[in-house]
Structure 1
Amino acid sequence: MNLEALCAEVGLDFYDDELVNENGRKIYRVYVSKQGGVSLDDCAKLSEILSPILDIESPVSTEYSLEVSSTGLERKLSKLKHFEKSIGELVSISTISKEKFQGKLVSVKDGLLTLQNGEGKIELNFNDIKKAKTFVIWD
């Protein structure tokens, strides 16, 4: 199953998917984005396409629920392409060595990320990142 192609059929960009366990339930989440924002109708259309396919090509052998969702303004960054699509945004990063950094993501090149904050520029190797997300400062 090609999630990118299926998302494109309804005018959406595939961002990521995950299988989580919440309150004893397994949930298969598909995150999507779209220029101008994702509507509930967009999520419903994709869900209608995915449901019958997932009945045949299930992501898990037990019972689960499907959720199609927008990435949101504050989203998890786990793949290099997520960082590449987030250039110009504020990011919060924790490294494997337990250091924490925040700043504006200004570039991503050859696995090297550059952040700009009040202390200057910080360069981080993608492979040293344990956890990262975008964030918004609300005034």
Structure 2
Amino acid sequence: MSKITERVEEIVTPIVHDLGFELVDVEYVKEGPDYYLRIAIDKEGGVDISDCALASEKISEVMDKEDPIAEAYFMDVSSPGAERPLKKEADYTAAVGHPVYVKLYEEIGGDKEWLGELIKFDAETVTMSVRIKTRTKEIELPRKKIAKIRRAVIL
């Protein structure tokens, strides 16, 4: 995690919790000439647009005072959606038995992307059940090689 996202997380966590929400993710990225600060929040039953607007207003007030980002940026407060990222141990626990999508830094077993059911995890590995053509196979992926992991919606 970058120093900016760490600092933003420190600033916004108490605000989000005071509003009754969970901070799911903080992302700071440059896209083209612009910088974007994306903050994902959630609560039991999900968040709606008024929840996001309220959180955005409260976060903006404090971010303007603290000013942890030197350059101009656009801020977006939203729901993590059905395909929420797995960031914390609680996210992994909640995803066990559900479909997940994994993108790796380097190939394992000939692939950098995996889609399957999360079976178990520990500090070092993620174990998934994946379908390869007509058979199902368990694979272990080292967590240090995972670039992104999120819940997946399979239709």
Deviation at 1:80, TM superposition (A): 5.0
Inter-partner Cα distance in structure 2 for 1:2 and 1:17: 11
Q: Which moved more, 1:79-88 or 1:2-11?
A: 79-88
* 1:129–1:63 Cα change, 3 Å: same
Alignment of 1:118-137 (within 5 A): 118=131, 119-137=136-154
Residue 122 of structure 2 corresponds to 109
Deviation at 1:36, TM superposition (A): 0.6
The amino acid that maps onto 1:136 is V
Structure having the larger proportion of residues in helix: 2
Question: Secondary structure at the residue paired with 1:106?
Answer: strand
Q: Aligned in 2, Cα 1:112/1:80: closer, same or farther, shift over 3 Å?
A: farther
Please, what TM-score do these two structures have when normalized by structure 1? 0.84
1:27 alignment partner in structure 2: 36
Instruction: State the SS of the aligned residue for 2:128.
Output: strand
Separation in structure 1 between the aligned mates of residue 126 and residue 39 of structure 2, nearest angstrom: 26
- Equivalent pair of 1:28/1:59 in contact (CA under 8 Å): no
The range that moved more, 66-75 or 95-104, is 95-104
Consecutive unaligned residues in structure 2, runs of 5 or more: 1-9
> Is 1:49 matched with 2:58?
yes
Query: Which residue is equivalent to 2:71?
Result: 62
Q: Which residue of 2 aligns with 1:83?
A: 92
Q: How far does residue 50 in structure 1 lie from its aligned partner after superposition?
A: 0.7
Q: Which residue of 2 aligns with 1:73?
A: 82
Structure 1: give runs of 5+ residues left out of the alignment: none
Runs of 4+ in structure 1 off by over 4 angstroms are none
CA spacing shift, 1:126–1:80, aligned 2, 3 Å: farther
Report the counterpart of residue 5 of structure 2 in structure 1: none
Q: Please report how far the alpha carbon of residue 59 of structure 1 lies from its aligned counterpart in structure 2 after TM superposition.
A: 3.5
| Contact kept in structure 1, 2:11 and 2:63, CA below 8 Å | no
Query: TM-score, length-normalised on structure 2?
Result: 0.76
Identity of aligned residues (%): 29
Provide Cα deviations, 1:88-128, integer angstroms capped at 9, x if missing partner.
32112232332232211122222321112332221111012
| Alpha-carbon spacing, 1:20–1:110, altered in 2? closer, same or farther (3 Å) | closer
Secondary structure of 1:62's counterpart equals coil
